[in-house]
Structure 1
């Protein structure tokens, strides 16, 4: 005979009901939160004048509400304005709003407001309170209790101050979960010192970034937190990157030596992340950091030593007041040469490049530098192939350069290995063409750059150089 244990069924039903209630309330709460977040996003997207009008309307409500609340507290019952009481309401509006407007309370951006904004609110309410009390005592009907002039400004300060604080919390970029929040760049900051704290604060005010943690070598700092962000050991980097889906690591180590910086960067080998850095201490003019100071890792960061600066006096001898020609001007080496050359006041800079796009980009950049710095150099842009000997001769005959920097070469080893004949044609015969033209047209200085791989060559590219 089938026996049914009703107690077990009852307990099972209760558990299911409890689970359903919990799930229902969680979903309901999430719906409310996401619904409110949508409102927040809509408000942030409104024109500035519309947001100012909303704040203006909220302040009007607080002014009238606090007058009503003060009367209600004074008479110990819900206040119904009669006869002369209306003067207290109208007077509050007429005194408060001009003061608030003059004090600039509607010019600040509330989601970025801090102590200074709240101080401005307090000072405006103080001015209002003094004038409102004087008006009630000396100008408004005597039937209005003078205590209204003391209590109402205090309640108004509390109400408006609270509204600004709440607006700052809800509308702050770090708290707004809009449709782009899932695309936030998750960052680990390496270095929990002063630089790390400063840049973390700057990133907190930017909706594009989310600081997930700090990394620091100091064991005394590890497992502690800064503004709610945990400080981890360097040994935990790989696990944190995986667990938190980190997209970037930011090196906030302005005073660390080059060799140590290289070691830290090398430790991130194998991690699919972007590594950025802050400038060194010698590059920071005032010691203050902002998001604009963040830059990509450069070759100097990987040297393990300080780079050797060029001898400007030696450099100037070949450039100042001379006509200078650069081949391969649009390449990585040629373009950097051009950037440095224009700052040394040549009469003319002749750019030879076979890539139209590279030449276009470089020309625009150099034109902008010349305008911004007032350089008096003439830029000549020429689309040409260095292996075209006749064209190269015509260029030298027309512009008569005194200094030539020959940077036109195929430099990527794997590509030259796959295309040996083209590599030899460009690197060997292109160089021969430019060298012969330089000799025939009286060039005083001919510099062949990027010859490091020519020493004991192990590949075709090195042999061609």
Structure 2
């Protein structure tokens, strides 16, 4: 607030200070205000002017934008006037000024109303004359889904920015208590199921979903209700983007496939994660990848002391480092950032890095994940995913890391691909190190993530942009999907809950049919599937499955402390079996054209031996682990 406005408010407060006393005394004495009473109050008010300035400045009454005042701001007015009135009571009592207690209570009430009204008038002027949109025929008739706080904030922003070209018609909300109610002058016209009728009656041209925490079920409901209706559909950013300050409420975007898969927000143990990750040096391998980079972003919010960004590709590490530094400056994080270019296959360099930084916690996200590519390059899958994991895990153990978290995949369950088998072997390597030292070794297994490199979504979008056809391998094919930020939230939660030896399985909810996903993307792009854009079935590629599993038949689960995390039973294999598997894999990786089937069989032969360990027995089993590899 400018100096001139501050002075204007102060002079207004002084005027109302004098006026409130005179009016209170006038009312107190039934309209017979004597000069002696008036003089007593003028003297008291004159002494109280400096006190008024001090109290109002202390409670911030001259440093707030009253055009956007909230109840919290008005509470500051109540406190300032009450403190001032109490001080005036002491002045009157000590000076024996002839003003009764009843009159003083009246003065307090009138002064509070006057000072509040002065400030609320600024808000009224702003809303009525400055923020009121000038409606034109070209403005989009806009219906807002959700009359909660986010919806109201959105409406304020739309009114404040006429360039967003919005003519607000009203709200829709499934809360029956809000129906026919008015918020910010706009009526709640009904519930979401009334959408087709309201759109037709009100000639709506734009729909905005203003529920940041909405699950995918809400998005799917809106999609189904608006089929065949020409309508511009947008959404506010997701809750995790708003909380992480990556987006503002008015950063509108079209509804995307990710919005249909978004889950209901889960209750995370933030205090527990802050206790585990706060103040720690944390190393992330594959930090430039889709999963690794999101781990870095979220760890910034848990007050990590240092993030060591390790990756093989210099460009991706440069980009995530730059992004995190911008985020650090914007939000005020104090986390230090270190960048390291290193290949996880280089054990010697890894040990130098661990010796230099002594990380407390390691997230191992570096891996080759593309199934068809690894079918053609099986040696790379073995060397990177198996022996690279072995190098990082052993470095963590040898240099005293507190925790090691392996990012695994549902493709490790009954694998039919080299990539899936290599991740199963990585789980076996990590599990074998449990109990050899103080490091807690944890694996986290989940399905596909939307937006990751190699995801089907960008492939489909590129095909749609070219006019089709969109290629689907098999119309029966299903996959588990999760949005990257949600998956990483649960990875971090697993890392904080793990006691060592667990294979955490994320609740991926229901699998999604790939052909349905393709049809949704075509519709979101403004076309009709099989009419404007054809879909072609191409047949499964090498190593692919019709469906993925998160567990094998003998891998039951028990619940963890978190509703979306489960702990799988596992098989503990002995040192000799593991070493035999590794020796055979090393030999296969050196062959010019190794047999993919032999690789998978070698790994699964080892994985299916050993005794099953139930999750409750993990702590006891850890003590029985061999101490050498």
TM-score, normalising length: structure 2 = 0.35
Please state which structure has a larger fraction of its residues in helix: 1
Q: Which has the larger radius of gyration?
A: 1
